[in-house]
Each structure stands twice: as C-alpha cells, then as structure tokens.
C-alpha cells in the first residue's frame, strides 16, 4: 500500500508575488498533477509526466477542477463563531454587546472544545487549512483550540487574548503578571508542537495597561520566534480612544512600539487609518498588515488602502476576522477585497486575490516556506475548486476565454459548494 496520492486537474501555483511581478508570477498547468506523499507535496508537473514518474501512486482525477494551495486565514476570533452576523453595531459597541458576553463562556473547557471543533470543521469545509486565531483570556480556550487543530493535523496559530484594563468587563480581565505567566506556559506546551505556533496576543491597546504591554513585550523578546498579533487603527473613534488612554504616544502604533511590541513577526489587524509615520515604521521593520474586508465593511470601519500599501512594500495578508467579519469563507473575503479595492480605484486581478488568500497570507504569518503554494517540499495542504459549482457560476464560466475569466465568478459568487476536496497534510479532510 502506497501513501502516495496523485491529484490530477488544472494546477495553479506561484513563482513570485503577482503584485510586485505581475500576473506572470501565477503559473497554470491546464493538465497538471500534484503528488502528495508523507504529508507533503512531493512533486508536481504535467499529468502525463507525473503518471509515468509515479506509477505506484493512487490517482484521483479531478478533471477540469482547479487545484490550489489551501486558504490561509491570517486573523480570526474562533470564540466569536456563535455571534457572527450580529446586527447593528460598530467596534466598541460590538465588543460590549456581543463579543465580551460570548467570550465569558469560554471559562468552560467543554464549551471551548465544542466551539473549537465546530469552527475548524466549518472553515475546512470552505477550503481554509490554516488560521491565526485569537482565543480568550482563559488558557483553556487556547488549549481547546490547539487540541482540536492537532486532532485534524491542521497548521494553526493561536494565543491567549490578554486584557487587564478596566475598559474590559469583570470576568474578562487578567493581570500583567498572569498574562505573562499564562502565555509563557502555553508557549512551553504548544509552540512548535506538531503544526502549532503560538502568538503573543494583546487584544489591543485600549484593553491593556502599559504594564501588561510591557510584560508581553518582554515575553516576545524572550521568544522572538513566536508571532505577536493585535489590532491597529481599525476605526476612527478607536484611535481617539487610544489617544486619550495613551496621551504621551506619538500615534496608535507607538503604544505597541514603546513596549517592545513592534517587529517583523508582528501581525497588525485592520490597519485602515494609518498615519505616515506608522506606515513608514511598519514597512521598515517588515511587519504584516492583515486586511479584513468583510469585517471592515460590516462594522463600518473603512476602506483598506491595498494599492497604496502594496506600493510601499508592506507585507499584507488576508483574513475573514470571524466573527466581526460576516463570512467564514475566504472566497467571500476575496470578493470583498475586490469590492473594497474597486471603491478605492483599483481592480485587483484574480491572481492577486488568490495569492492574498494563499501565499500572501502564508508570507504574512512567516510560513511562506511551509504552506500557501503548490511547490515541491511544501506541506500537503491542498484544495480543489469546482469552477462550475452552481448554474449561475457555470453559465458565466462557460463563456470564459482563459482560466482567470473562469475563476473570477467563483471568487465573486462561490461558497462551500465550490470546494470539491480539501487535503490537510496530504490526507483528504473534506
């Protein structure tokens, strides 16, 4: 019995960044094949060549469907699964009305385990094979998430969300010391175990004291290979709030920078209303900005400057931001990114959208050598997209004169029906 599986279909892979190098960085093999073996992508090429080279492999013929790397969602809140698509609030009211009451329930390890499993199964069915998630202040919420991911052999990032300022409610506050101690213990247990990566996770400056930010900055200095994830400049009232809480800071980013929380392994969610100094510093250190388009429109935050930030050389990932974001689907998220860019005067190419959801987000997570692309030696997280998953999509795709015209209707109108198969670490999960 061989563990080799040969997937046949149209194969899309990247040799570079289509924002910087043009759409030629996206390579299409119309009659291609991908060999999965030992949890990795062992080879790829034309179907004819690969059949001859690997006669012992089990063949799965996906016909005219599109084989791509699994989607990488670079900013989510798995504890907000139950409150997705809640009505009528902007950021601060959203947190107080929906988020904080739901997160209090995660003191119960059984509830955390239930939602972690539900969340991961939901996103897998939509083609997402890696997520970077905030948890809650409860260490059990982090353990539950990592355990659920380990059971599914998924590569994930997660961290204990830290909040010690009285702007967070009773029952959802830790302390500077417990944030440090709990996060350090979780790093010791989970960081680098299997496919798990820990992220030091201050929710954002308005819910942390300077003492807590300082403690977490010290922890990051002790574990520089960890990621650090937080929020930055999501809404204008939030920025004014930060200005009042940190009167000596030069700007919002400085509240992190002054406490050791700015660096190349930093992930800064939203980043819509940035000052020139902030943009310069983020680019200078090579930090990652995470674009959350469905969230930014759903809770009325603003329009991310994709074209301008890319032109500056910023490192950008794409994310659903469950549950402020209104969909678990990275297809829907790509569609929203396209719409937001249109409102700012730029039409993103389908190659750029797919890159953002795969290789771009993997690069943002500092995992571009492991996931996010079809390349020999990469981990075997691969999905298969049906570009004719509904009659409405099929009738548009049938008029296409090239792959991009055939793919774009799926990006704009596709849902879980478009995800024909999902392979996680080389084994079929969906």
What mean pLDDT, rounded, does the chain reach?
A: 97
The token duo for 214 is 């300082």
For strand 58-69 and strand 382-385, is the pairing parallel, antiparallel, or unpaired?
antiparallel
For residues 385 and 87, which has the higher predicted lDDT (pLDDT)?
385
The pLDDT tens digits for 401-430 are 999 999 999 999 999 999 999 999 999 998
Amino acid 1: pLDDT: 46
Mapped onto helix, strand or coil, the DSSP state of residue 27 is strand
Distances (CA, A) of 318 to 49, 72, 132, 355: 35, 8, 11, 9
Are residues 397 and 387 in contact, defined by beta-carbon separation less than 8 angstroms? yes
* Segment 27-32 mean pLDDT: 97
Task: Tell me how many degrees the CA angle 277-300-262 measures, rounded to the nearest 5.
Answer: 30
Indicate if the pLDDT at residue 43 is higher than 90.
yes
DSSP for 192-248, please give it: TSTTEEEEEEE--GGGS-HHHHHHHHHHHHH-TTSEEEEEES--HHHHHHHHHH-TT
Question: What's the CA gap between 387 and 39, in Å, rounded?
Answer: 26
pLDDT > 70 fraction of the chain, expressed in percent and rounded: 100
Are residues 373 and 362 in contact, defined by beta-carbon separation less than 8 angstroms? yes
Domain with CATH 3.20.20.140 in the chain: 71-364
* Segment 224-242 mean pLDDT: 98
* Residue 91's pLDDT band (cuts 50, 70, 90): confident
The pLDDT tens digits for 183-195 are 999 999 999 999 9
CATH of segment(s) 71-364 = 3.20.20.140
Indicate if the pLDDT at residue 61 is higher than 90.
yes
The pLDDT tens digits for 302-336 are 999 999 999 999 999 999 999 999 999 999 999 99
Q: What is the pTM of this model?
A: 0.98
Phi, psi of 28 (to 5 degrees): -120, 125
* Segment 91-120 mean pLDDT: 96
Indicate if the pLDDT at residue 291 is higher than 90.
yes
* Residue 88's pLDDT band (cuts 50, 70, 90): confident
* Segment 350-377 mean pLDDT: 98
Strands of 5-14's sheet in order across = 40-46, 26-37, 5-14, 58-69, 382-385, 419-424, 427-428
Say which residue the tokens 């900055």 belong to: 217
* Residue 103's pLDDT band (cuts 50, 70, 90): very high
Indicate if the pLDDT at residue 359 is higher than 70.
yes
Amino acid 241: pLDDT: 97
Domain with CATH 2.30.40.10 in the chain: 5-69+372-428
* Segment 61-79 mean pLDDT: 98
Domain 5-69+372-428 indexed as CATH 3.40.50.11260: no
H-assigned helices in 246-349:
252-257, 276-285, 293-298, 306-311, 330-343
* Residue 279's pLDDT band (cuts 50, 70, 90): very high
- Comparing CA positions, the residue from 72, 71, 66, 53 lying closest to residue 11 is 66
């Amino acid at each position: 019995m061989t563990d080799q599986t040969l997937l046949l279909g149209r194969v899309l892979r990247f040799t570079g960044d289509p924002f910087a190098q043009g759409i030629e960085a996206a390579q299409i093999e119309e009659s291609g094949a991908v060999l999965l073996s030992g949890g990795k992508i062992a080879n790829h090429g034309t179907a004819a060549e690969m059949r001859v080279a690997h006669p012992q492999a089990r063949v799965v013929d996906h016909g005219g469907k599109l084989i791509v790397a699994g989607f990488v969602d670079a900013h989510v809140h798995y504890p907000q699964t139950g409150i997705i698509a809640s009505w009528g609030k902007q950021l601060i009211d959203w947190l107080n009305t929906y988020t904080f009451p739901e997160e209090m329930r995660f003191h119960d390890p059984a509830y955390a385990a239930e939602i972690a499993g539900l969340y991961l199964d939901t996103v897998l069915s939509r083609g997402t094979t890696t997520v970077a998630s905030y948890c809650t202040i409860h260490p059990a919420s982090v353990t539950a998430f990592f355990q659920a991911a380990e059971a599914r052999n998924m590569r994930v990032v997660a961290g204990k969300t830290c909040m010690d300022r009285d702007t967070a409610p009773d029952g959802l506050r830790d302390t500077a010391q417990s944030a440090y101690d709990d996060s350090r213990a979780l790093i010791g247990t989970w960081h680098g175990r299997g496919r798990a990566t820990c992220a030091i996770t201050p929710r954002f400056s308005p819910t942390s004291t300077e003492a807590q930010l300082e403690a977490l900055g010290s922890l990051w200095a002790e574990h520089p290979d960890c990621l650090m994830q937080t929020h930055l400049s999501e809404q204008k009232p939030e920025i004014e709030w930060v200005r009042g809480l940190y009167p000596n800071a030069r700007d919002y980013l400085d509240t992190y920078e002054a406490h050791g929380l700015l660096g190349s392994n930093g992930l800064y969610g939203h980043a819509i209303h940035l000052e020139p100094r902030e943009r310069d510093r983020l680019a200078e250190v090579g930090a990652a900005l995470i674009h959350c388009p469905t969230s930014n429109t759903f809770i009325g935050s603003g329009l991310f400057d994709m074209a301008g930030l890319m032109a500056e050389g910023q490192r950008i990932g794409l994310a659903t931001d469950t549950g402020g974001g209104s969909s678990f689907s990275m297809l829907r998220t790509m569609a929203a990114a396209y719409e937001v860019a249109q409102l700012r005067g730029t039409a993103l190419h389908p190659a750029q959208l797919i890159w953002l959801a795969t290789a771009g987000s993997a690069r943002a997570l500092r995992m571009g050598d492991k996931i996010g692309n079809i390349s020999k030696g990469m981990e075997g997280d691969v999905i298969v997209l049906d570009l004719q998953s509904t009659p409405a999509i099929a009738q548009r795709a049938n008029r296409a004169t090239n792959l991009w015209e055939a793919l774009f209707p799926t990006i704009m109108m596709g849902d879980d029906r478009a995800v024909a198969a999902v392979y996680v670490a080389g084994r079929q999960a969906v």
